[in-house]
């Protein structure tokens, strides 16, 4: 049997994640049965589960990928930029994953335990970014960094909820400007 290159394995893994993202966004976690995953990804269950032990592991890998991307944006540009990206992309797959994460945090103790570490990474990146901004004199000093981070995280949760509800988000850009201005030093 010929050896498969690492690039091919990575490409196949990403194909599976992309297809799973679409399946979870369209059908929800429960509705994304193995059959639905096969159809959406275009691979057999053997090919899919060669890369991931089971559906929960596949979903967690997808959620981890999203968390890593969010950490990169938060580190470089801040949590408000994550919100701006949500508005500009209208990424239904990402939104679907976020909604399923929220639901599974409420209903699945094993997932909640596995996700706690990933969530801590995002929270740590947010606080580190805010501390750097404060050290540069950009961020207001009269409010604790943890309070500012909780405030921004709450706004993000509200934006995700609004996007999930299908309510209009046109005109939210100026709201995000206001939120960003509220954490910065006023001149």
Report the CATH number that the domain containing residue 144 is assigned in CATH: 1.10.357.10
Q: Could you tell me the residue range of the domain that residue 16 belongs to?
A: 1-52
Domain count, the chain: 2
User: Is 151 in the same domain as 67?
Assistant: yes
172-178-136-79 Cα dihedral, nearest 10 degrees: -30
User: Is 89 in the same domain as 154?
Assistant: yes
Q: At what angle do helices 79-89 and 145-165 cross, to 10 degrees?
A: 10
Report the CATH number that the domain containing residue 26 is assigned in CATH: 1.10.10.60
Q: Which two tokens stand for residue 65?
A: 């990928």
Local confidence pLDDT in tens for the 187 residues of the chain: 567 788 988 999 999 999 999 998 888 888 999 999 999 999 999 999 999 999 999 999 998 898 888 889 999 999 999 899 888 765 567 777 888 888 888 988 988 988 888 888 889 999 999 999 999 999 999 999 999 999 999 999 899 888 878 888 888 999 999 999 999 998 6
**What pTM does this model have?**
0.80
User: Is 91 in the same domain as 137?
Assistant: yes
Distance in angstroms (rounded) separating the CA atoms of residues 154 and 179: 11
Distance in angstroms (rounded) separating the CA atoms of residues 103 and 105: 5
Last residue of a domain, one of 13, 37, 52: 52
User: Is 74 in the same domain as 148?
Assistant: yes
């Amino acid at each position: 049997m010929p050896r498969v290159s690492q690039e091919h394995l990575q490409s196949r893994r990403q194909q599976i994640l992309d297809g799973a993202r679409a399946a979870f966004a369209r059908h929800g976690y429960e509705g994304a049965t193995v059959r639905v995953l096969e159809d959406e990804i275009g691979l057999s269950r053997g090919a899919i589960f060669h890369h991931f032990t089971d559906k929960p592991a596949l979903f967690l890998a997808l959620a981890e990928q999203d968390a890593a991307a969010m950490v990169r944006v938060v580190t470089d540009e801040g949590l408000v930029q994550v919100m701006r990206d949500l508005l500009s992309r209208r990424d239904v797959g990402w939104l679907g994953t976020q909604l399923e994460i929220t639901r599974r945090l409420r209903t699945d103790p094993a997932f909640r335990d596995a996700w706690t570490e990933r969530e801590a990474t995002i929270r740590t990146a947010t606080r580190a970014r805010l501390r750097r901004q404060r050290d540069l004199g950009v961020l207001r000093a009269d409010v604790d960094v943890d309070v500012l981070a909780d405030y921004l995280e709450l706004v993000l949760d509200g934006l995700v909820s609004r996007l999930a509800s299908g309510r209009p988000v046109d005109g939210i850009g100026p709201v995000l400007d206001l939120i960003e201005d509220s954490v910065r030093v006023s001149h």
